[in-house]
Structure 1
Amino acid sequence: MEPAQELKWSSFSLTHVQYPSGDLLGKLLAFISLTPLAIAVCLFTLIAFRRDMHTIFFSIGLILNEAANYTLKHIIREPRPLKRSEEMTVEFGMPSSHSQFMWFVATYLMFFITFRLHHGSNNNSIFEGVWRYFLIINGYLCAAVVCVSRVYLEYHTSWQVIVGGLLGSVFACGWFAMVQLVFTPLFPIICSWPICELLMLRDTTLIPNVMWFEYTCYRSESRTRQRKLTSMKSQ
């Protein structure tokens, strides 16, 4: 009777992050390196509950960015650092997918804040300007820290994260230009399709401050219903 074949176990590379035992900085950077997963979950939640066309097309851009990274990795076929290569389920490291993902997000966020959020009466206020710069700087800072974590934890070389960051930034520039110049004018038409109306997809392009708009609409509707309820009780 032949012995049973030994099972080979694999880790889910999206969440399985290792760090040196007892290294507090490594542990912190391991958590930080999961930022792309947190962003993906947030985007899925936004799409499910807000159903905004810009969020959907931003997510499509991220998916295409990841597909390009996967393709390039299997074309270039550059291995990860030797100390880590035996533990990786995907042995190729050029370019870094984490770096490419984060720099795509940071660069797209910068363009979105600069070109999309420029309407409204509060646009020239000091608070508005400081808030914009705060978001942009923190987006790039977060991307840089994730890159540092991938090198520190020996998942990638410095050159692999640099190339990934450059590619992510370039893809973000191109995709934002396409969304802004090509797709955005088509959003009203797309949203009028029966399937999009069924899914309640919406275009918020002409609304400068979506949160304030929704807040005022909810408040107005709540007050109207409260007046009707009071009127019904008094009759």
Structure 2
Amino acid sequence: MATYEDPPDSTSKLFNNVNRIEWVPISLTLVEYPKDDLFGKILAFISLAPLVIVVGFITLIIFRRDMHTITFFIGSLLCEILNSALKHTIREPRPVARETVYNEYGMPSSHSQFMWFFATYVVYFVIIRLHHMNNNTIMENISKIIIISSCVISALVVCFSRIYLQYHTISQVLCGAIVGIIFATIWFTLTCLIFTPLYPQIVSWKISEFLLLRDTTLIPNVLWFEYTNTRQEVRARSRKLVSMKSQ
């Protein structure tokens, strides 16, 4: 005699479908470190520096809307696209310890390439573009050394963290660093020779005026310019307010 079985309900169907889903981690945010290894934990947080830099880029673009910052950010995005293309061309796997976690390739290291692109570009910018009207002052030279050394040290530490945490081999990290330095050199050259002369025309467009885009190329040091002009404006408004109250 035939027996009757209840059909599986929708909950069990959904549960079975979920079990068949292959979950893939996002390599930008997933960082593992050896348990009870404080040094490894610190390096894991440091390896998130590219994500912090990207957030900083977006914040600067939203609040400053400077053409050079936007160009810098576009260069970093193109650097990541180049890294992805190189990975799928070379197809070298990650170290054995990470092959079970990541499906993507490891040559060259994207963290290393991004950090050295950023550090190299900043070095060029500080040496060539960042200066006061009275050059070679002691404070200016000290600030330049601090900025350059901070970027270079950050890039070195991130590279070391990728090797220590076994996400990349030494050759993968070195290759990423070389590609990042070369691409930063090319992009900074293109920015100075080709893109920068186009900024005055671009900021005059209606869409640029609507978005409040600005070109600060001719200003030697934007921070110093904004600082001095803000002080002057505050003093002028304070004197005007005092005079109005005295009347």
TM class, shorter-chain normalised?
over 0.9
- Residue 189 of structure 2 is aligned to residue 177 of structure 1: yes
- Aligned equivalent of 1:152: 164
Could you give the per-residue CA deviations for residues 36-83 of structure 1, whole angstroms, max 9, x where no partner exists? 111111111111101111110000000000000011111111110011
Stretch deviating more after TM superposition (170-179 or 222-231): 222-231
Q: What amino acid maps onto 2:141 in structure 1? A: G
Number of corresponding residues: 233
Match of 1:200 among 196, 212, 218: 212
Gaps of 5+ in 2: 1-7
Mapped pair 1:40 → 2:40? no
| Matched position secondary structure for 1:146 | helix
Cα distance in 1 between the residues matched to 2:120 and 2:31: 25
Q: Which of 66, 75, 79 pairs up with 1:65?
A: 79
Amino acid at match of 1:9: W
Distance 1:212 1:144 in 2: 29
Matched, 1:163 2:175: yes
Shift of 1:138: 2.2
Aligned residue number for residue 96 of structure 1: 109
- In structure 2, the residue matched to 1:209 is 221
**TM-score of the superposition, structure 2-length normalised?**
0.89
Cα distance between partner residues in 1 of 2:241 and 2:137: 40
How far did residue 119 of structure 1 move? Answer: 4.5
What does residue 234 of structure 1 align with? Answer: 246
| TM superposition shift of 1:125 | 1.4
Q: Distance in 2 between matches of 1:185 and 1:212?
A: 23
1:8 matched residue in structure 2: 22
Query: Structure 1 residues 128 and 219, CA, compared in 2 at 3 Å: closer, same or farther?
Result: closer
The CA deviation at 1:216 is 2.1
**Quick check: which has more Rg, 1 or 2?**
2
CA distance in 1, matches of 2:224, 2:118: 24
Is the 2:131–2:140 contact (alpha carbons within 8 Å) kept by the matching residues of 1?
A: no
Q: 2:68 aligns with which of 54, 64, 68?
A: 54
TM-superposition CA deviations, 1:109-159 (whole Å, max 9, x none): 1110111114511x2112222321222122111111101100110110110
Report the AA paired with residue 101 of structure 1: F
Identity of paired residues, percent? 57
RMSD: 1.5
Structure 2 CA distance, aligned partners of 1:86 and 1:170? 32
Do the aligned partners of residues 137 and 13 (structure 1) sit closer, same or farther apart at CA in structure 2, a change above 3 Å counting?
A: same
For 2:3, the equivalent position in structure 1 comes to none
Measured in 2, the distance between the counterparts of 1:28 and 1:179 equals 35
List alignment gaps of at least 5 residues for structure 1: none
SS of alignment partner, residue 52 of structure 2? helix
Q: Are 2:150 and 1:138 aligned?
A: yes
Following superposition, the deviation at residue 185 of structure 1 comes to: 1.1
What is the distance in 2 between the residues matched to 1:129 and 1:223? 29
Secondary structure at 2:216 match in 1: coil
